[in-house]
Structure 1
Amino acid sequence: MVKEQADNKVYLRIIYLITILIPLVVAFLIFFPTKFGAEGDWVKVLPGVHAAINSLTVLALIAALISIKKGNIKLHRSFMFTALFLGVLFLISYVLYHSSVESVKFGDLNYDGELSEQELAKAGTSRMVYLVILASHILLSILVVPFVLFAFYYALTDQIDRHKKMVKFTYPVWLYVSITGVVVYFMIKPYYF
């Protein structure tokens, strides 16, 4: 029992550490313009890879929901671990991309990193729609991380009632984040050079 409690404390500390580190790394990438990542044009394909990963995550999450509704816990667990693996893969790729190249601006038709009045006018209200979707995507992606990790923790430690309560909020948010990741990519794709 004492070892189990010690193990639980270790897992909980890991969850808290990950919950703090992810937003700090992302904030660092956004607010410190010095790039230190990979070089070469291959890095520019990563946003498309991110959209593919998010699409696969959506499919895994939906398949997991269908599996659990049918009572297939083993298959549900497999799909959820797949979704978690895809999330980790996405995060690694996302950090690699944003540490390597400048972020693309929605509406930047001449790819100079600046938005002229003409570019802003041409983007119109679609830019505001994009920014609202992007902001909700980023905010919720940060907020959902600890809930996802706790949901996994509760499932793996057989605290199923707590797991069920956690996923009532977590699942739709994770699904929203994954779907909007794809939407954001296709909205900004015309501005990639």
Structure 2
Amino acid sequence: MKTKISKFDKYAVPTIITLSILVPIIVLILMYLPERSNLLGVDVGTFPFFHAIINALTALLLIIGYRMILKQKRKQHQFFMMTAFALSVVFLVSYVISKISNDPVPYGGEGLLKGIYFFILITHIILSAIIVPLVLFTIYRAISGNFEKHKKIARWTFPIWLYVAITGVLVYLFMYPYY
């Protein structure tokens, strides 16, 4: 059975792919800037705290949104998921600003905690890059009314997005003593 490509897919899919490639590349470049410029004049620990709050709220919204769809409450599901997406966009913009503004802070822990921290950090970073196209395609499929494809991709998007949000908070908690 051949799938029909909508005229919107011809524009949306390349746009999603382009954003999915550009976002991680831009973040990577910003992490290795030779010079920083504190754009907002805030302390180094301000951004991470703000990011942890956004990640915690995102995780909460994702869980509530998931529960709403289980209860067949589509409008509420849509509201919570789109709010989680909006918070993620705010996070991304803030994260980019923080990378421009502040030098990276090294983790100072040792032993078992160091191993746990780096496992969480590495999986968080890898899945943060993967979640961009997943979220964008999941939202696009819902907005375009293709709920079968939306459900298929959401089965992957939800747990990965939730993991990224929760591990974002955990990374902050591990790093808190070093800010």
> TM-score, length-normalised on structure 2?
0.92
1:36 Cα deviation from its structure 2 partner: 3.8
2:100 paired residue number: 99
List aligned pairs for 1:7-86, cutoff 5 A.
7-42=8-43, 44-86=45-87
Distance 1:59 1:39 in 2: 28
2:62–2:80 contact (8 Å) kept in structure 1: yes
More divergent stretch after superposition (22-31 vs 74-83): 22-31
1:39 Cα deviation from its structure 2 partner: 4.9
Residue of 106, 109, 116 corresponding to 1:129: 116
Distance 2:140 2:121 in 1: 29
Distance 2:38 2:25 in 1: 17
1:116 paired residue number: none
Distance 1:43 1:77 in 2: 35
Distance 2:10 2:96 in 1: 28
Distance 2:161 2:16 in 1: 17
Q: How many residues align?
A: 175
1:43 Cα deviation from its structure 2 partner: 5.5
CA RMSD of aligned residues (A): 1.6
CA deviations over 1:87-108 (Å, ceiling 9, x no partner): 100000000001111111110x
1:42 Cα deviation from its structure 2 partner: 4.3
CA deviations over 1:32-60 (Å, ceiling 9, x no partner): 33224515234541110000000000110
Structure 1 unaligned residues grouped into runs of 5+ = 108-121
1:113 paired residue number: none
Distance 2:141 2:64 in 1: 20
Identity within the alignment, %:
41
2:158 paired residue number: 171
> TM-score, length-normalised on structure 1?
0.86
Distance 2:40 2:128 in 1: 27
Distance 1:172 1:23 in 2: 20
CA deviations over 1:116-138 (Å, ceiling 9, x no partner): xxxxxx62221121111000001
Greater RCO (Cα-Cα under 8 Å, separation 6 or more): 2
2:173 paired residue number: 186
2:33–2:100 contact (8 Å) kept in structure 1: no
State the AA in 1 paired with 2:178: Y
Q: Larger radius of gyration, structure 1 or 2?
A: 1
State the AA in 1 paired with 2:170: V
The change in CA–CA distance for 1:7 and 1:36 in structure 2 (over 3 A counts) is farther
Distance 1:76 1:39 in 2: 35
Structure 2 unaligned residues grouped into runs of 5+ = none
